[in-house]
Each structure stands twice: as structure tokens, then as C-alpha cells.
Amino acid sequence: MTTTKRDAGVHVQVRGLRVVGSRPGEPDTTIVHGIDLDIARGEILALIGESGSGKTTIALSLMGHARGGCRIAGGTVRVGNTDVLALSARELAALRGRRVAYIAQSAAAAFNPSRTILDQVIESALIHHTMSKAAAQAKAIELFRALALPQPETIGRRYPHQVSGGQLQRLMAAMALITDPEVVILDEPTTALDVTTQVDVLRAFRTVIRERGMTAVYVSHDLAVVGQMADRIAVLSEGVVREIGATAQILQAPEHPYTQSLVAAVTPTDLPARERTTDTTDAPLLEIRRVAAGYGRRDAKGWPEKMILNDIDLTIRRGETVGVIGESGSGKSTLAKVIAGLVPSCGGSVLLNGDPLPRGLHGRTRDQFRRIQIVFQNADTALNPVHTVERTLARPLAFYHGLKGERARRRVAELLELVKLPSSIAQRRTTELSGGQKQRVNLARALAAEPDLILCDEVTSALDTVVGAAILDLLRDLQRQLGVSYLFITHDIAKVRAISDDIVVLYAGHRVESGDRHALSAPPLHPYSHLLVSSAPEPREGWLDEASERCHRPLAPIGDVASDPDLCTFLARCALRVDGVCNRTAPSLRTFGNGAQVLCHRTEADLALLQAEAAPAL
């Protein structure tokens, strides 16, 4: 391997790094402009910025890697005494996964669904011959325990689809850390996680990195998150470092205007006044009455093996937005799929304009399909990568409206204008677009049907703060122009408040609270809603430790739990539970003075007092 001298005390040194992108027949475009960075041994440096700022490109260069269509055109990258950019392909293979490890944003894409988790976690150690298989298995279990994974001795026997998203993210970290790398790169590892899971994952990552003395680079668009992890923060835009400094300085006294705008974007503000534009006495567009649904083989009564939704009620009016919030596994996406007919319900009814919809796809008319459209979370998997934008949008135009040829092309141009994309983008493939552009095309495809209702399933969760805010603004504009209604699914309390008229909180398939956006902005709340609100990251040091204590505070002992299936589903995690009540009888649905409906034994006064004593930032 090629080695060279480096500055004393510096573990990772980047000098004059330049990365360019190129397309056939076009001049090179500079993506990263002469970056200089120093990272001390054991330090965590955050790279933060919007999509396209160059943060992931810089992080990947620490492994001597450039993404497709890009190349490292100049500069040096040193890890220890190794000049990474001077290594051969064979030497780079020995470096990656051994001395420099990478934790990606999508854990699901990093695992092979046909192999057990343990086999995949230890694979890097076996490839690099750092230990025997038995030793690697023992170390993996040790890492599972350090990363606060449940059942560390046996979780490795499962397959990737048998664990939650937060667990899979931590298992991917174990896969990266199994070789005791010198440097670990964390590339947006918590972006798509719900807030309570994010608290657990961040705490686990920070603990393991600190205890093992690793040098880390944390890539993110979220200042509030990196504020809990990083010693220093480098702020990037357009491939240039705009500001670099200690975490406290960046969060509390940012100097560059761009950094100031990022801090302002994550600083909590009061909700602006927003009046309803429709009469709540009007007949609803969509009604959900006591809907139940699940997955797996059905019994003789038609009930599925795994129940996901239980007795869900929900109403959406024309031109309004209902937000649905909850952790992973709460039933949010299943609810959207039931409305769309992708998952047949096993109980209750879904009514569109007062008319019952068939339980599944079979029996629905083309017009019913047209009137309810769904926009999925991941535009990369929702859009066909071999199709141009024009072909993607032309398909629903032909299917629902019979538009072809020049009429279709004109309508495609109109749709692109609606979602604020240039008409020139029509001839590009979706793989050539940014994340925000892809999501706009995803939305334009739904609008092509001219629907009454759009089901937005985590449509901003994989986008950076600025791009996500732009998508929310676009949704509001389209609602004003077209009168379309939304079911907006998210795990982000700030986003659901920003766009929704009414909010429904789901936990373990039950509606535990519902009310308008202002009712869910201050206590009293259902204890689970309170946990969600107080787990939203804040841009200040020390927040993670406070949130961890709230999420994992010791609970008062409780007696035997009755076998009644209607008992509170949040019982095992509730800090406000009452022995002899919550574990014996089902909670009732209470209506509070602010109009919120809360499924809880506690009275409005109880919850207000107890939540005020807890005093989380709301």
C-alpha cells in the first residue's frame, strides 16, 4: 500500500479534493470544488447540506469511491498514513470494509432477503480474514448487545424482513463495525426512521463509536440530528464548505448566511393561523368506518393471521388534509393501502362520496381507481428507471382519459408546470433527476388521473429539510388550485402539523387520538402522542440524552394484565399507566375541551398536570 506523511494528530486528511461529473458529449461539471478537511482520531465530523451539496460525494471519496458518472479529478485523501487515491483496485478492496466502513441510508437495500442476518453481518470479517467464523459470530452478538438490539443471542437467526426498520439500521451498523474499522461513514442512517426509533438508533450509534474510539463522518441534512452526534460540523452547499466549526458554535452562533438558514429551518416556531376553507357540515369525500385489516392466511371467519388495523374511523372532506402519524408498524401505510384497495379490509367499510368501495381491487371501477391515487415514499422504486418522464406521465393520461399524441404531450407539459418542473425535463429518464425532482414527477403522475384524493405515504421522509419543505409548499399550492384532498402519512410531527387540517395518531393499529392540528400542538395529549412530540429532535446539545431518558424511563410496577384484547395497546410503554385500571379494563374514548378525542383512562386534567410536570419541549 502507498503511504505518506500526514499532519500530527490528524487521522483523516483531505486536501484539494475535486470531483466531477460527466455525460457523453458534454463538458465535465464540477461537483466538489477543492475541499480541505482534517478529522482527528476519535472525532465525529458531520457533513451537512441540501441534496446536491456534495456531502455524500465527499464521504465516499474517503473510500476512494465515486458514484456512477462521477470521477475524482484531483486532490488527496489520507487515512492514517495511507494515500487512498493512490491505491490500486485490489488495495482499495482491502481498505473498504476493513479500515473504512460505510453505513448507508437504506438498510433494506443493504441486506440480502434470502440469507439470515448473522451470516451477512459476519461476512466482511470472513472476507478480510480478521477472525474465525466462530469468533465473528461471538463478536456480532457482542455488537448486537452494544447496539441495544432485542434478543441479541438469537436476532441473527432471523431474516431481514423479520425485524423492524430501526433494528435493521442497527444491524447494518453491526455489519460495518464487525472488522473494527478505523473510520466509519454514516450516510443519512436515520433519515427514514420515526422519531422514537431515531432516538434509540442515534444513542446506540454514538455509544458504540465513542466507546470504541472510532473516527466517524456523519452525513445528514438535519442539523438537529447531527447536533447530538458530532464534535464539529462542516456546512456544505454547491460542493463548497461554507462554514466549519464546533457543534455548539454552529448551532448557537452560525456565521454564514446559508448556515443561518439551515438553523432557522429546524428551529421550532408557532403554528401560523390557518382557517378551514370548507364547511365541516358538508358531506365528506371519504369515510372510514371501523375498518380492520391485516396480512397472512385467513381463518374460517375471514380474519387474517396478523392483524394490523383495528376499528379505525376517519373522515376526509373535500379540499382538506388529514394527517396520520405514528411509529413504524403502527398501521399508517396499511391504512393507505386499504383505501387504495391494495390490501383488502376484513371488517368495516370505506365510503367514497357516500358509496361503499369494494374491499380490494377486484370490483372497483376505473373511475374509482382514478379518483383515489397513491404517492409512495420511495420515488426510486415507484418510477420505472428506463422510462422518460414523458412516458411515465403519458401512461395514466392514456389509461384514464384516452389522451395520446400531441394532446398528451401538451398535458404532460401542463402537469410539469403544475409541479414546478421545466418542460425540458420530459425527455430525461428518472434516474437522471434529483430526489426532489423524482418526487415531483411521482406527484405529477398521480395528478394526471385528476383525482379527488391523493394518499401521500411518507412522501418527504427521504428528502432533505429544504427540499421536503418545498414539496409541502407544492402540495398546499395544488390543493388551493385543484381542490384535491390528501391523506398525509408521516412520522414527523412538524410536517403533519404544517400541512394538516385534522390529525389522527395511530399506535399498534389503534386510533389513540384525533383532533385538529391546533389540538395536537400542546398538552393534554394521549401519552403516546406526548412521547412522539417530545421525541422530535431539537437543534441543541444535550437533547438526545433528555429524549433517551423520556423514552426509556423506568415504569412503575404493575400487576397482572387481564386477557382482554381491548386493553390499551400502549400499556407496556406508558409512564402514566394506573395499576388496577389500565391493566384490568379497556380505555374509553374521551373528548377534551380542545375538541381532541383521546383513547385513555386518564382525564383531561390528569394528562395536563402530568405532562406539564414532565416538561418536554413541545
Which whole number is the average pLDDT over 129-136? Answer: 95
Domain presence at residue 335: yes
pLDDT cut 90: percent of the chain above it: 61
Residues 293 and 357 placed together within one structural domain of the fold: yes
Query: What pLDDT is stored for residue 306 in this prediction?
Result: 85
End-to-end CA distance of the chain: 53
pLDDT above 80: residue 273:
no
Is residue 77, in this structure, part of any structural domain at all? no
Per the DSSP assignment, residues forming a β-bridge with 314 are 288
Indicate whether 538 and 482 sit together in one domain.
Answer: no
How far, in Å, CA of 129 to CA of 131, rounded?
6
Per-residue pLDDT tens over the stretch 278-328 = 656 678 999 999 999 988 888 887 788 888 999 999 999 999 999 999 988
Last residue of a domain, one of 512, 542, 576: 512
Report if residue 276 sits inside a domain: no
What are the pLDDT digits (tens) for 482-495?
999 999 999 888 88
Residue scoring higher pLDDT (450 or 224): 450
Percent of the chain with pLDDT over 70: 95
Look up the CATH number of the domain holding residue 300.
3.40.50.300
pLDDT beyond 80 at 3 = no
241 and 312 inside one domain: no
Report yes or no on 280 lying in a domain: no
Q: 157 pLDDT exceeds 90? A: yes
Domain shared by 413 and 503, yes or no: yes
Instruction: Indicate if the pLDDT at residue 191 is higher than 80.
Output: no
Tell whether the model's pLDDT for residue 560 goes beyond 90. yes
**278 grid coordinates:** 370548507
578 and 431 in one domain? no
Which of 512, 546, 580 delimits the end of a domain?
512
Domain assignment present for residue 312? The answer is yes
Per-residue pLDDT at 498 exceeds 90: no
Pair 105, 165: CB distance under 8 Å: no
420 and 361 part of one domain: yes
Interatomic CA distance for residues 291 and 130, integer angstroms: 53
pLDDT tens for 100-124 read 999 987 777 789 999 999 999 999 9
Q: What is the spatial distance between Cα 454 and Cα 472, in angstroms, rounded to a whole number? A: 14
**pLDDT score for 143:** 93
One domain, residues 252 and 382:
no
Calculate the CA 326 to chain-centre distance: 12
Pair 309, 381 in one domain: yes
What is the mean predicted confidence (pLDDT) over 243-251? 95
pLDDT category of residue 161 using cuts at 50, 70 and 90: confident
Summarised one tens digit per residue, pLDDT across range 39-82 is 999 999 999 988 778 999 999 999 999 987 889 999 999 999 99
Residue 78 belongs to some domain of the structure: no
Q: Given a cut of 60, is residue 2 above it in pLDDT?
A: no
Number of domains forming the structure of the chain: 3
Same domain, 93 and 242: yes
Residue corresponding to grid cell 393520461: 397
Q: In this structure, is residue 33 part of a structural domain? A: no
- Model confidence at 8: pLDDT above 60: no
Euclidean distance between CA atoms 557 and 325, whole angstroms: 29
Query: Given this model, what pLDDT does residue 615 score?
Result: 58
For 42, the grid coordinates are: 476519535
Nearest-5° Cα angle at 321, 370 to 273: 150
| Residue range(s) defining the domain that contains residue 567 | 527-614
Looking at residues 532-558, what average pLDDT do you find? 83
**What is the pLDDT at residue 1?**
42
Do 300 and 227 lie in a common domain?
no
Residue type, 108: A
**Cell matching residue 264:** 432557522
Whether the pLDDT of residue 276 is over 80: the answer is no
Mean pLDDT confidence for 356-363 = 92
In a domain, 278, yes or no: no
> Comparing 277-291, 423-437, 522-536, 570-584, which segment has the lowest mean pLDDT?
277-291
Shared-domain flag, residues 116 and 59: yes
Residue with the bigger pLDDT between 613 and 86: it is 86
Last residue of a domain, one of 218, 233, 266: 266
Residues 178 and 241 in one domain: yes
